[in-house]
Structure 1
Amino acid sequence: MVGTLKSLLCGAVALAIGAHAAPSCSAGNTARTFEAENAILSGTTVDTAQSGYTGTGYVTGFDQATDKVTFTVPSTTTRLYDLTIRVAAIYGDKRTTLILNNGASSEVFFAAGTTFVDVAAGQVLLNQGSNTIDLVNNWGWYLIDSITVKPSSPRPAHQINASPVNAAANSDAKALYKYLRSIYGKKILSGQQDLSWANWIAQQTGKTPALVSVDLMDYSPSRVERGTVGTSVEEAITHANRGGIVSVLWHWNAPTGLYDTDAHKWWSGFYTDATDFNVATALADTTNANYTLLIRDIDAIAVQLKRLQTAGVPVLFRPLHEAEGKWFWWGAQGAEPCKKLWGILYDRLTNYHGINNLLWVWNSLAADWYPGDATVDILAADVYAQGNGPMSTQYNQLIDLGKDKKLIAASEVGAAPLPDQLQAYEAHWLWFAVWGDTFINNESWNSLANLKTIYGSDYVLTLDEIQGWKTAA
């Protein structure tokens, strides 16, 4: 009788969605798999040349921007599901754009491999009835075999470390860490890159971001010697003095070897393709000239961080960001040199310079790039996906990376996340910080209506709502 009922249920689901992407039902129907060859194909084709697929084939041909496969997925109720994509990235590391019900998009990374594997793709909030899940080209040239959805379990309580990793952290850093722990999973801090854009948000919405992110880029010696004058420290102090929280990143212009051509100007010297500076060679020993220049640069930044320490400003410090992307020189030679540089940076600033107002933010997702728990307070991701979605794929990756013992932040985003989505997905980002010009002021990324919704939400903390945070926790 049970087997007959199961067959009837599976048949009813198949009839409900027609021939497209009919699911294979598992015991209890807890997990359902949808074969790509049965989905709706747009610019893509079915193939069987690669062994190891399930069903009758797989989908390939992702070579144009609009190429996609569309799965139709029914749900008897509105609920959250874990999504897995079975894929073969036989042509190298790839990414796909995932779009749920023609709304918010997210990006899923596929590591290079020679066989079909299951890749965790975060969560999807399926509506009662019929839903669509699009996998759109993005980096392209991968093979999609199937997707599987399984009802998500409630997120367990976080087990966040009680103290900063720096045992000598000063009272300001400890107070910030304590406050961040107290709100994690309950609220999200609104944030914006650059003070001027934070003030712009206040003009548009009537609310000022709780957090402002600034960049130490113009304090890099290879820029200073070409005439740049940094103002980020003053901007950080201004925001801190009005009761705000400060995040600091560093687009570290390469210490030397800038091409300075029409195609690659000197001021783009943090990019891999704008310099011949080789971090692995520089770190090969401590006596070569380029190693000396690395230390020179770190010491120059120490001067600016000490100014913030003297001013009583604790800092969410995010150096060597987006390393695994390899588009910045500090990641260009792979994980090991980057992790070594992180260790040098931490030791030099903390133990040599005695800078103790920093909470250290690591900003890459891949496990083999992670420098380790001992020098990281907060894990972060930079996510540029349209639709103001919850970015649950990256959030869950960071939960796994830090074993749910590290705070997690959306340190750079193109689109500010909608609070109802964050809560529905249990994506407990500690803060978000929208990038500046062409993103925060771009209707296709952040409509004014969405910004007003976000900044007016009880779930989103703004500057006026965090006053006295140093003593509130």
Structure 2
Amino acid sequence: MKKSIVLIMICSAFMNISCDGTQESNKKPSDPQATERAVSLYNRLFQLMDKGVMMGHQDDLAYGHQNYNPGASDVKEVTGDYPAVTGWEIGHLELGADRSLDSVYFDKMREGIIETDARGGINTMSWHGDNIITGGSTWDCKGNDVVHSVLPGQPKHDEFIQWLDRLAAFFNTLKDKNGEYIPVVFRLYHEHNSSWFWWGAEQSTPEDYIAMWRMTVDHFRKAGVNHLLFAYSPSSCTDEAAYLERYPGDEYVDIVGFDIYQFGDDEAAIQNYCRDMKHNMDIVTKYAAKAGKIPTVSETGWEGIKQADYFTKVIAPLLEPYKISWILFWRNAWEPDKPGHFYLPYKGHESAEDFKKMVSQPRFLMNQDINN
């Protein structure tokens, strides 16, 4: 009996096993001063990967498709449960506006983030900030000096720091019922290897892009914003070298992913998407394993979903061989002029039952699944 107790104690010391027999984690995120809740989320993400892949949806609580109704969830209407991961977009927060570029009031966004966190869901954010030189949108790619202009010592640096301070102030209003900061995954300057954003490959050098990323993260940390996990997500890449060309370093990144969409409605388009998805999941999962990071599919989808069995016939088989933390589908637009702009089915859509069938499989995790 004593030998058994000694053996248990020795095994616990080496394997970090808790008294109830479950294995504990002690992984540290990139921020040395990360809050307890941020550390807890980071470890939880690793643990949940052993359980399955979490289902995510951009702006899920912000509105429904063709229905501007804050708090509504197309995913819940279809499946009976919320997605495990909810995405939010904070573009225009940097301007001091009261609503995002998708017309979501930031007060309502805060409520949605708090609600998601309270039921055990995970919040992730993207930021399509405006072009600070032209005053145009994120997609205004005139010139190739925007990134360089915001670096220390450059003309737009001080103004850009004011933008970051507005973001930091918002992040610091995200608190749970106990007054603790809610941890959020912040996906910075994404799809940077393409050239449709002002921080893209044709608009900046790798050195300037990396400097801007590090400057941004360092500023948040100095401002006492220590409840963010940072996600790196280029578009489709040819190989690991291309994937890492603008990588800011492991000390500035917690989560690695990629953004990829299906374009075109025929069988060839589906096959191209499957090929590119597999190729990029290979790159991301291998690097994540090597660097000790969380791998994700950080943005994806097929606008309009024109195949009734798309989720069980295409998405589920694609993900089956991979250990991925989550897959996030893009938003279901509320705007009247965007009737075909949706990436998960809404109630009544022909693929709704198929999506419900897919997420009912044990491998796919919805909100209730990650809290059981």
Instruction: Please give the TM-score of this superposition, normalised by the length of structure 1.
Output: 0.57
1:208–1:222 CA distance, 2 compared to 1 (3 A): closer
CA shift for structure 1 position 299: 0.8
1:418 is aligned to 315
Kindly tell me: are residues 161 and 252 of structure 1, through their superposed partners in 2, closer, same or farther at Cα, counting changes over 3 Å?
farther
CA distance in 2, matches of 1:254, 1:201: 33
Aligned counterpart for 1:176 among listed residues 41, 49, 63: 41
Instruction: Indicate the SS of the match to 1:359.
Output: strand
Residues 464, 224 of structure 1: CA spacing in aligned structure 2 closer, same or farther, 3 A cutoff?
A: closer
CA contact (8 A) 2:57 2:329 kept: yes
1:342 matches 2:213: yes
Shift of 1:378: 0.7
Query: CA distance change for structure 1 residues 401 and 379 in 2, over 3 Å: closer, same or farther?
Result: same
> Which position in structure 2 is the counterpart of 1:327?
196
Contact kept in structure 2, 1:359 and 1:378, CA below 8 Å? yes
User: Cα RMSD (Å) of the superposition?
Assistant: 3.0
Richer in helix (by share): 2
**2:283 corresponding residue in structure 1:** 397
Give 2:342's aligned residue. Answer: 439
Report the CA distance shift for 1:354/1:210 in structure 2 as closer, same or farther (over 3 A). same
Kindly provide the CA deviation profile for residues 94-149 of structure 1, in whole angstroms up to 9, marking residues without a partner as x.
xxxxxxxxxxxxxxxxxxxxxxxxxxxxxxxxxxxxxxxxxxxxxxxxxxxxxxxx
Contact 2:120/2:371, CA 8 A, preserved across alignment: yes
Kindly state the Cα deviation for residue 280 of structure 1 after the two structures are TM-superposed.
Answer: 4.2
Task: Report SS of the residue matched to 1:369.
Answer: coil
Distance change >3 Å, CA 241–CA 384, structure 1 → 2: same
Aligned mates of 1:210, 1:289 — CA distance in 2? 42
Q: Distance in 2 between matches of 1:307 and 1:251?
A: 20
Answer yes or no: is 1:371 the counterpart of 2:248: yes
Q: Is the 8 A contact 2:92 2:99 kept in 1?
A: no
Query: Does 2:122 correspond to 1:253?
Result: no
2:155 paired residue among 275, 289, 306: 289
Q: Tell me the alpha carbon deviations over residues 48-79 of structure 1, each in whole angstroms, 9 at most, x when there is no partner.
A: xxxxxxxxxxxxxxxxxxxxxxxxxxxxxxxx
Letter in 2 for 1:183: L
Indicate yes or no: 2:138 matched with 1:270. yes
Sort the Cα spacing of 1:284 and 1:252 in 2 relative to 1 into closer, same or farther, 3 A.
closer
Contact 1:186 1:428 in 2 (8 A): no
CA 1:446–1:393 in 2, change beyond 3 Å: closer, same or farther? farther
Q: Percent identity?
A: 24
Q: Structure 2: where are the runs of 5+ without partners?
A: 1-24, 65-71, 238-242, 263-268, 303-310, 333-340
Secondary structure (helix, strand or coil) at the match of 1:323 reads coil
> Secondary structure, in 3 states, of the residue corresponding to 2:87?
strand
SS in 1 for 2:229: strand
CA displacement, residues 215-236 of structure 1 (integer Å, 9 cap, x when unaligned): 1113121756999753433321
CA contact (8 A) 2:149 2:157 kept: yes
What code does the residue aligned with 1:232 have? M
5+ residue gaps in structure 1?
1-159, 259-265, 469-473
Normalized per residue, the structure richer in strand is: 1
Structure-to-structure mapping, 1:28-67, within 5 angstroms: none
Tell me the amino acid that sits aligned with residue 315 of structure 1: V
Distance 1:213 1:353 in 2: 24
Q: Contact 2:57/2:86 (CA < 8 Å) preserved in 1?
A: yes
CA distance in 1, matches of 2:229, 2:208: 22
Of residues 454, 461, 469 in structure 1, which corresponds to 2:365? 461
Q: Is the 8 A contact 2:258 2:280 kept in 1?
A: yes
Q: 1:439 touches 1:446 (CA, 8 Å); kept in 2?
A: no
What residue number does 1:380 align with?
Answer: 257
Equivalences for residues 132-147 of structure 1 within 5 A: none
**What displacement does 1:455 show?**
1.7
1:215-226 alignment runs, 5 A limit: 215-221=89-95
Query: Is the aligned partner of 1:360 residue 2:237?
Result: no
Which residue of the partner structure matches residue 203 of structure 1? 77
